[in-house]
Amino acid sequence: MCPDGRVGITEVSTTRRLEAGELDEVTRWAEVIIDLAAGDPAKGVGFGLGSPLATATAFRGLVGWVKGRSGWRQDLDVAIELARDNNPQHFALVFVWTVAAAIQFVVLRADDRALHIGEEVLRTSERVADDNALMFAEYAVGIVLLWLRDAGFRDSGGGSGGPRGRSRPRRG
């Protein structure tokens, strides 16, 4: 099999391992993909979700923050940049896997940068009229907005924690 095919097929396999919670295997295969891609975000694009290099870098960053490994923030940033120049659906997915997931699990704070990237993903998805990309983009921007709103609620003295941990004013 050609190197591009190995990169693309390995990406799909790694996605399944992430869904199964096999984090050490995800890291191992992410490293394989990153090595095989050799810095080329287009290598293997026709076999999976988009740029295997962007996906592998996103997954390495995600597992990095779950396991407390260094370098995960840089991986998230690099994955976003690699996906930005890819197809809109993949850009939206990588944003979900990186920034939105890290915000949802209280690893990163929702901030203007996250909102700016999310709005870029949303505009791109709307412009190309890709329903799947739009669905992922709306989901991710919703997470960012929910946590930004919650941060304002906490800052005003109204609660503590994220959307699940927020204390709500009593009714009646």
What pLDDT score was predicted for residue 12?
59
Structural domain spans, the chain: 1-71, 87-157
What pLDDT score was predicted for residue 117?
94
- The tens digit of pLDDT for each residue in 59-112 reads 999 999 999 999 999 999 999 999 998 788 889 989 998 999 999 999 999 999
Indicate whether 113 pLDDT > 60: yes
Pull the structure tokens for residue 1.
């099999």
d(CA 80, CA 99): 9
